[in-house]
């Protein structure tokens, strides 16, 4: 869709304000009367050689798994693995018992998995996790038959999502 110069300037202004593409799509419809799909808006922004800004979102209590206070030492180790290259064969498995859930991501995924790693639960039990090509999350505990507490499973999923998002996944 071709836009006139004033409409292009308006879109550039919205991008400069840090609006998301979906917000730009809504404003195009409400303010300019242009109905466009999300993909059309994305292509428009690209054609105009504009780069949407990544707005720093405020930290929420879910960003810190402990709810309040500093992250657990195990989480600091997991974050170090996700953010910086580690020597081959090194993984942070020194999370103290009762310190919450810590997640690490393997440098090389296990065969048949898109990504894999290790998790230490709050009771000290450890497991290997993997995400397969169909998007299924699998958990292989070191102790056969082990079932982590329900609260730990939720913390594990949130920590895993956080670690994977840091890696751009």
Beta strand 137-141 with 126-132 is antiparallel
Are 38 and 88 contained in the same domain? no
Q: Please check whether residue 56 lies inside any domain of the structure.
A: no
Q: What is the rounded distance in angstroms from the CA atom of residue 78 to the CA atom of residue 145? A: 25
Are 69 and 42 contained in the same domain? no
Residue 126 has pLDDT above 90, yes or no: yes
Other residues' Cβ atoms within 10 Å of the Cβ of residue 71: 18
- Res 51: pLDDT: 79
Q: Please check whether residue 55 lies inside any domain of the structure.
A: no
Task: Count structural domains, the chain.
Answer: 2
Are 29 and 96 contained in the same domain? no
pTM for the model stands at 0.42
- Given pLDDT bands bounded at 50, 70 and 90, which one contains residue 99? low
Are 66 and 126 contained in the same domain? yes
- Res 70: pLDDT: 38
- Given pLDDT bands bounded at 50, 70 and 90, which one contains residue 128? very high
Q: What is the pLDDT of residues 14-66, one digit of tens each?
A: 888 888 888 888 888 888 888 888 888 888 888 888 877 765 555 555 444 44
Are 36 and 110 contained in the same domain? no
Are 31 and 100 contained in the same domain? no
Handedness of CA 136, 74, 122, 110 (dihedral sign): positive
Phi, psi values for residue 7, rounded to 5°: -70, -40
Are 19 and 83 contained in the same domain? no
- Given pLDDT bands bounded at 50, 70 and 90, which one contains residue 80? very low
Locate 89 and state its tokens: 């064969």
- Given pLDDT bands bounded at 50, 70 and 90, which one contains residue 127? very high
- Res 1: pLDDT: 63
Q: What is the rounded distance in angstroms from the CA atom of residue 141 to the CA atom of residue 157? A: 15
Are 90 and 158 contained in the same domain? yes
Residue 140 has pLDDT above 80, yes or no: yes
Range(s) of the domain holding residue 78: 61-166
Are 38 and 67 contained in the same domain? no
Are 36 and 107 contained in the same domain? no
Half-sphere exposure of 50 (CA within 13 A, CB side): 24
Are 15 and 89 contained in the same domain? no
Q: Please check whether residue 54 lies inside any domain of the structure.
A: no
Q: Please check whether residue 52 lies inside any domain of the structure.
A: no
Are 65 and 43 contained in the same domain? no
């Amino acid at each position: 869709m071709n836009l006139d110069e004033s409409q292009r300037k308006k879109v550039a202004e919205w991008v400069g304000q840090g609006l998301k593409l979906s917000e730009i799509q809504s404003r195009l419809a409400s303010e300019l009367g242009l109905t466009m799909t999300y993909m059309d808006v994305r292509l428009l922004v690209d054609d105009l050689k504009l780069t949407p800004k990544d707005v720093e979102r405020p930290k929420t209590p879910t960003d810190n798994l402990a709810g309040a206070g500093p992250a657990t030492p195990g989480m600091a180790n997991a974050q170090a693995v996700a953010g910086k290259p580690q020597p081959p064969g090194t993984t942070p498995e020194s999370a103290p018992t009762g310190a919450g859930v810590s997640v690490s991501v393997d440098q090389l995924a296990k065969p048949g998995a898109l990504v894999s790693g290790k998790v230490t639960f709050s009771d000290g039990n450890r497991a290997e996790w993997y995400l397969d090509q169909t998007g299924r999350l699998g958990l292989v505990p070191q102790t056969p038959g082990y079932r982590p507490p329900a609260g730990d499973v939720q913390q594990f999923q949130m920590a895993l999502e956080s670690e994977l998002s840091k890696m751009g996944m």
